[in-house]
Structure 1
Amino acid sequence: MMLAWLPDIDRGYGDAYTRLADAIEGAIRSGRLKAGERLPTHRALARQLGVAISTVTRGYAEATDRGLLESTVGRGTFVRSAANASTARGPEMRPMERMYVSAVPEADIIDLSLNHPLREGAGKSLGDSLSAMIAGSDLDELSLYHPPHGNAEHRAAGSEWLRFMGVEADPGDVMVIAGGQTGLLSILLAFARRGDVVLSESLTWPGALAIAQSVGMRLESVEMDEEGIDPERFEEACKHFAPRLLYTMPTLQNPTTATASVGRRQEIVRIAREHGVLIVEDDAYGFILSPRVTSYWEIAPETSVYLTSLSKPIAPAMRIGYLAARAPHRRRLLGTLRATTVMPSPLLSELAARLIRSGEGAERANFQADAAFRRQRLADRILGPESGVPVSLHRWLPLPQGIRTSDFVASTLGQGVAVTPGDVFAVRPGDDPAAVRICLCAEPDEKRLERALTIIARLAEADRSAALPVV
């Protein structure tokens, strides 16, 4: 019997056929489409969606290339079984735009899948600073071309922000970037070539997966422990792969929240120096911890570059971040920054500088840290305390043994709660860490968050009970 299923292709990125393939993948990951289920015919789905038959044909072909579907002449198009999917061709890594589970259209979903900072007060803060900028800035000057790494005043503000983050860097060592994603892209293009190996934690930010795929670099994983990258495994990977770079998020790692001690970081630096590996430190969440954690930049600035942005501490709309890099590294980065963005927006750079110089940026960051602490304690009460993580914007929830991530994500979505499936963070395709990420500040209403966490806890306990052997 053919499945009565209608995808939502008005959401997402790319052409209509790509959005259709994304919707199919999201439905499979969430469990709304099961292995072996038959999809509508090309003609029937085209009629329901109001698109050309060729759009559906291309969408099904794209989903087939991703290893999601299989077709048989005379029978139709079906969701692949796991066994058949393992032999499918297609991209080795999932693009970032397919990271999240799509909510059921028009349903009242409590969405904890997107790692938003708490939005409360962000509009007023940005509005006040924008008004001050319009009244007190030379907008003619800000409308012109600026250096690819920002002008001197904006780099000085970046140096002040890094000091707030616990990192001492002279303004001359600071580069303004158009957000963390652009910063990482520029770093990879500056220090590695197509086909080169870049190492990362075995679970990592999907943005890094998308960037590595788009520039043709091989992202290879290093096993983790409670402090992040395991030094022994890192050394083995250096000997085996001869990597150019190590991309790492050593503080409140996304998604596991692992945080490396100073001793661990010193050991990683020793190995990196020995094998000529540049450490790329992504400090998206370091503003949350107090006291600050010692960065790789402070330990070994000649062996590392430091990257942070304003998206989490202030607002995602602030597509401004800062790189700290010593002169030899800066010279290589200037070219790729010019090639990728020409320059960071002078208007946004000025807004960021005003937020920093006025102290409003630090106030917003401290507000986010306080909110994360409060919500982490709420999660502790409902889900049980998480060892070693006093505060974080997100929480990593291991699932009961024997429970598939896709089944659990489908269960929570069926109860009106969206969480991030853990497999989207896996560097090795097909790995399932049997865990989900819960974004604690994505939902503005704390009562709704409490309800969502209660649903997650109930489902996890039910799955745990179901997984217990009968003796």
Structure 2
Amino acid sequence: MFHRSSSQELADLLAREIEVLPAGARITTHRELVRRFGVSATTVSQALAVLTQQGLITSRPGAGAYRTAARPVARTGDTSWQQAALELSHHIGSAGTPRSFRAPALLHTLLPSGPDVVDLNGGYLHPDLQPLRALGTALARAARRAEAWDRPPVGGLPELCDWFAADVGGGLGRHDVLVCGAGQGALATALRALAQPGDPVVVESPTYPGTIAAARSAGLRMIPVPLDAEGIRADYLDQALTRTGARVAVVQPLFQNPTGASLSADRRRDVLAVARAHGAFVVEDDFARHMAHPDAGPVPPPLVADDPDGTVVHIRSLTKVTSPNLRVGAIAARGPVSARLRAAHVIDSMFVPAPLQHTALEVVTAPGWRRALAALGSALAHRREVATGAVEATFGPRALALRPRGGYHLWVSLPDHLDGGELASAALAHGVALTPGENYSPAGGGTRHVRLSYVAAASASDVDNAVRRLAGLVSET
């Protein structure tokens, strides 16, 4: 059995097996590879990502990975010199924190599941939850517009900027909004614009893997600050900003990923007051704004709506509530920082393609947009109830410290004898894809948690059956 942890070694071994297969042949499932080689699900994910980049395989969501058509490939020489050339941490005279482009936890969230695996890992809506008819109609209408093929303004279509400004609220105008390529791109742009390599940045602990990856790629030093049921701790935030001199903090104020916590009214005021006192920016990742459930009650406005002084840089996206392919989002900010963000965005990507922007505008201005959001909220609430019942039956009544009434995930505490990474690997071997808690740790290391997403599976009953299937693994000592 293969016991080495190197994803590159595993990729090399699999490449030799795959090269002899005919085009279109289905590759062994992710689940079987974990079982066969005795490695973690993350290691397999990284190896498959390497093979995809090499053009050996292609992934089809819900169906698995397949051998690509064979094509002539120029002989590769000795590329071993690149390892030293790419090393960023030992330059003579270098200063600060080296940038890192390893993002295994983020790649794990994009891992396609085969037909024999129930996906409780993914963060995008299953096609049955997506507004596919509305998206198709919007795309067709946008494609017929002659202006859809003109170069758009750098900051985004004025009408789309207007819509985002009104949706965010707080008296923002179109000139305060920058249309960007969804939430992850906005987050990466904001961190590079607001901080220099080597600077400290405060992040929640645990936090979204995309935040960790964006901070590392920008060469920033992450300063973890804990959360409780009311969100990030303002007292610890104050201490972190005082101790490190950080001028940027990243928070998810609503239905935080992975814990599901939302900032209380008092905590919102305290966080903003602490940031203002230190002259620090708060990057507000408002990813779940349109994923509130019907029983959530009044959802508080974004932090930026209560911030006339420009402390908050607000991020939101349409991707989570539509399709992973509608990669359109916005950054909203007041003051001189807007010019910095706009310049960083131009350097990163020039502009978001006009056909995509026009499609997004058609979607959000259609008569059925609000109805679609309401229907999604009801579907999410139903899945949440099913998932919560299955988790409590399988992991025990104390497994959920929070039962968020929004978002799409649960943060499950494990018994003392279980490790999140080990459980995720064992679960995959039993046909269930979970996310290990270690993927959300800014400092690295294991944690006795797993995150359970209930939006990527085909149905609520699939979620229920998959969670209950884990009972035997949970009871093992």
* TM value normalised by structure 2: 0.76
Other-structure match for 1:420: 435
Q: Please list, as runs of the form range in 1=range in 2, the aligned pairs for 1:248-397 lying within 5 A after superposition.
A: 248-289=251-292, 290-301=297-308, 302-384=310-392, 386=400, 387-397=402-412
Given that 2:249 and 2:281 are in contact with CA atoms closer than 8 Å, whether structure 1 keeps it comes out as yes
Taking structure 1 as reference, are residues 295 and 107 closer, same or farther at Cα in structure 2, changes over 3 Å only? closer
Distance in 2 between the 1:249 and 1:9 partners? Answer: 39
Q: Please list, as runs of the form range in 1=range in 2, the aligned pairs for 1:161-240 lying within 5 A after superposition.
A: 161-163=167-169, 168-240=171-243
What is the deviation of 1:2?
A: 6.2
Other-structure match for 2:154: 148
Corresponding position: 1:125 with 2:106? no
What is the deviation of 1:145?
A: 2.2
Given that 2:288 and 2:406 are in contact with CA atoms closer than 8 Å, whether structure 1 keeps it comes out as no
What is the deviation of 1:274?
A: 0.9
What is the deviation of 1:217?
A: 1.4
Post-superposition Cα deviations, 1:265-316, rounded to whole Å, max 9, x if no partner, equal 1101111111111000001002122522232112224211111001111111
Other-structure match for 1:449: 463
Taking structure 1 as reference, are residues 278 and 286 closer, same or farther at Cα in structure 2, changes over 3 Å only? same
Other-structure match for 1:72: none
Given that 2:42 and 2:105 are in contact with CA atoms closer than 8 Å, whether structure 1 keeps it comes out as no
Other-structure match for 1:429: 444
- SS, match of residue 438 in structure 1: strand
- SS, match of residue 306 in structure 1: strand
Taking structure 1 as reference, are residues 393 and 211 closer, same or farther at Cα in structure 2, changes over 3 Å only? same
- CA-atom RMSD, angstroms? 3.6
Corresponding position: 1:158 with 2:157? no
Given that 1:320 and 1:352 are in contact with CA atoms closer than 8 Å, whether structure 2 keeps it comes out as yes
Unaligned runs of at least 5 residues, structure 1: 17-21, 34-48, 66-88, 467-471
Given that 1:116 and 1:439 are in contact with CA atoms closer than 8 Å, whether structure 2 keeps it comes out as no
Post-superposition Cα deviations, 1:217-260, rounded to whole Å, max 9, x if no partner, equal 11221112122211111111111111121011111111111111
What is the deviation of 1:119?
A: 2.0
What is the deviation of 1:183?
A: 0.9
Match of 1:99 among 100, 108, 114: 108
Other-structure match for 1:28: 39
- The code of the aligned residue for 2:158 comes to A
Given that 2:313 and 2:333 are in contact with CA atoms closer than 8 Å, whether structure 1 keeps it comes out as yes
- The code of the aligned residue for 2:381 comes to F
Corresponding position: 1:398 with 2:439? no
Post-superposition Cα deviations, 1:72-97, rounded to whole Å, max 9, x if no partner, equal xxxxxxxxxxxxxxxxx996974455
What is the deviation of 1:152?
A: 1.4
- The code of the aligned residue for 2:217 comes to S
- SS, match of residue 286 in structure 1: coil
Distance in 1 between the 2:233 and 2:343 partners? Answer: 33
- SS, match of residue 224 in structure 1: strand
Distance in 2 between the 1:173 and 1:307 partners? Answer: 12
What is the deviation of 1:459?
A: 3.2
- SS, match of residue 270 in structure 1: helix
Unaligned runs of at least 5 residues, structure 2: 20-29, 45-66, 88-97
Given that 2:204 and 2:227 are in contact with CA atoms closer than 8 Å, whether structure 1 keeps it comes out as yes
Taking structure 1 as reference, are residues 131 and 53 closer, same or farther at Cα in structure 2, changes over 3 Å only? closer
Other-structure match for 1:46: none
Given that 1:371 and 1:441 are in contact with CA atoms closer than 8 Å, whether structure 2 keeps it comes out as no
Distance in 1 between the 2:207 and 2:276 partners? Answer: 23
Distance in 2 between the 1:310 and 1:146 partners? Answer: 19
Given that 1:176 and 1:321 are in contact with CA atoms closer than 8 Å, whether structure 2 keeps it comes out as yes
Taking structure 1 as reference, are residues 257 and 171 closer, same or farther at Cα in structure 2, changes over 3 Å only? same
- The code of the aligned residue for 2:154 comes to P
- SS, match of residue 212 in structure 1: helix
What is the deviation of 1:196?
A: 0.8
- The code of the aligned residue for 1:130 comes to L
Distance in 2 between the 1:238 and 1:391 partners? Answer: 30
* TM value normalised by structure 1: 0.76
Other-structure match for 1:39: none
Distance in 2 between the 1:396 and 1:56 partners? Answer: 46
Distance in 2 between the 1:428 and 1:93 partners? Answer: 14
Post-superposition Cα deviations, 1:39-71, rounded to whole Å, max 9, x if no partner, equal xxxxxxxxxx9999999997xx89xx9xxxxxx
- The code of the aligned residue for 1:29 comes to S
Given that 2:386 and 2:460 are in contact with CA atoms closer than 8 Å, whether structure 1 keeps it comes out as no
Taking structure 1 as reference, are residues 158 and 422 closer, same or farther at Cα in structure 2, changes over 3 Å only? same
How many residues align? The count is 404
